[in-house]
Amino acid sequence: MQKKGCRYGTHRVIAPVGTLPQPALKLDNTMEIYDNELLIDVSTLNIDSASYTQIRNACGGDENMMKNMILSIVDERGKMQNPVTGSGGMLIGTVKETGENFKNATKVKTGDKIATLVSLSLTPLKIDKIINLSAESDQVDIAGQAILFESGLFAVLPDDIPEKLALAALDVAGAPAQVDRLVTEGDMVCIIGGGGKSGILCCYQAMKNAGRYGKVIVVEYSHENAQRIIDMQLATDVIVADATNVMDVYSKVMPLTGGRGVDVTINNVNVPSTEMTSILITKGQGCVYFFSMATSFTKAALGAEGVGKDINLIVGNGYARGHAELTLNIVRESKPIRELFEQLYVK
């Protein structure tokens, strides 16, 4: 008989006792499952962009050093949770075993290929070997296993989209889904970090929702990524600028809004210190959605107060009801986005 586990995975927490798996410093990553768990043979990790950028920078882009850092994090914590950024990512793999009381047993069976829709920062993980890692891609091929708790979300991988493309899209599925909720017809929207994976998906959804009378402004650091947005017609205006330079971005965005600021700002960058840029360019009682895991919510909250901005600040929850299907449908609907993601992620 399998051991009985807590719905939220507290039975896997080693330290500190009494907390949940995500904020825990160490999890039990033995791969003998409890009655309400799913055991997954993992093929690929999609490490959160902020985390991967930090690891790459700390290792000077040396791929062997990056492998060793990832292995050491998982060995120390029992999960892939970057101790600097606190973030994780997600994975794809094949279901190996289902607990006898796993509540979603009717939705998945042994042999199914799935993507987890919860963070690696709370997922018990054991890596036997890193098979492939590229400093330029946040996808890491491994041999290993992982545990999904009863409360954990997942998606069976679709037949019409390559696995790694689906993984790349699903990793950031919360972002375009939140854009769909926040942006309405005629809105002015600014997407900071619009040239990355989440940014591109957000641009598509923002253009769709804002419509012909709206405006979608992209702020992008990379000239190459900015040109990509222009070529793909995913924005009405594209600004090449460093989002950490608050007043430079402010001086470039505000004239495009008639001086009043945008209705909605979406922050997708993978570097810190862009909070005040997002806040200053947003109109009073507008909304800033911080999808970036590099965000300091202390800086955002106290900074907004300090400049007298009465705006809604939304934490980048990676889950929104229907987010997986919405995001995969963007890939299906947009030939340019699909072709770009195939080029970047399908090797």
The closest alpha carbon to 344, from 165, 221, 115, 91, belongs to 165
Calpha distance 220→227 (Å, rounded): 10
3-state secondary structure 261-320: CEEEEEECCCCCCCHHHHHHCEEEEEEEEECCCCCCHHHHHHHHHHCCCCCEEEECCCCC
Q: What homologous superfamily is domain 174-340 in, according to CATH? A: Medium-chain alcohol dehydrogenases, catalytic domain (3.90.180.10)
Domain boundaries, the chain: 10-157, 174-340
Residues 6+ apart with CB under 8 A from 141: 43, 44, 130, 131, 132, 133
Contact 28, 78 (CB under 8 A): yes
How confident is the model over 207-227, as a mean pLDDT? 97
Q: What is the pLDDT of residue 135?
A: 80
Q: Which residues contact 267 (CB under 8 A, 6 or more apart)?
A: 192, 193, 274, 275, 278, 288, 289, 290, 291, 292, 295
Q: Tell me which DSSP letter residue 100 carries.
A: T
Higher pLDDT, 292 or 333: 333
User: Is the model's pLDDT at 178 over the cut of 90?
Assistant: yes
The percentage of the chain sitting over the pLDDT mark of 70, rounded to a whole number, equals 99
Could you tell me the pTM of the whole model? 0.88
pLDDT tens digits for range 55-64: 999 999 999 9
CB 193 within 8 A of CB 243: yes
What pLDDT band is residue 253 in, cutting at 50, 70 and 90?
Answer: very high
DSSP sequence for 49-64: HHHHHHHHHHTTT-HH
pLDDT at 319 exceeding the cut of 80: yes
pLDDT value of residue 256: 98
- The reported pLDDT for the residue numbered 134 is 85
Sign (positive or negative) of CA dihedral 172, 125, 114, 104: negative
Q: How many CA atoms lie within 13 A of 108 on its CB side?
A: 32
**Where do we find the tokens 């330290």?**
15
Structure tokens at 144: 């290993």
User: Which residues, at least 6 apart from 48, have a Cβ–Cβ distance to it below 8 Å?
Assistant: 82, 85, 87, 88, 89, 119, 120, 138, 171, 293
Residue 136: predicted pLDDT: 82
Q: Which of 291, 316, 276, 324 is nearest to 153 (CA)?
A: 324
* pLDDT of res. 113: 96
Residue with tokens 């990832």: 70
**Residue in this structure with the two tokens 């990056």, named with its chain if needed:** 66
Note the pLDDT tens digit of each residue in 41-53.
Answer: 999 999 998 899 9
Identity of residue 117: L
> 2 exposed, middle or buried (CB, 10 Å; 0-12, 13-18, 19+)?
middle
Q: What's the rounded Cα separation, in Å, for the pair 254 and 237? A: 12
Cα separation of 61 and 55, whole Å?
8
pLDDT in tens, 103-144: 876 789 999 999 999 999 999 999 999 999 988 889 999 999
Distance in angstroms (rounded) separating the CA atoms of residues 175 and 291: 6
* Neighbour tally for 134: CB within 10 Å: 12
**What does the pLDDT average to over 332-337?**
97
Interval 275-317: pLDDT, tens: 999 999 999 999 999 998 889 989 999 999 999 999 999 998 8
pLDDT of residue 276: 97
Do you find a cis peptide bond into 176, omega within 30 degrees of 0? Answer: no
Pull the structure tokens for residue 252: 């470039």
Query: Tokens at residue 320, please?
Result: 């929104």
Residue 5 has what pLDDT? 95
d(CA 243, CA 13): 38
- At 293 the pLDDT is 83
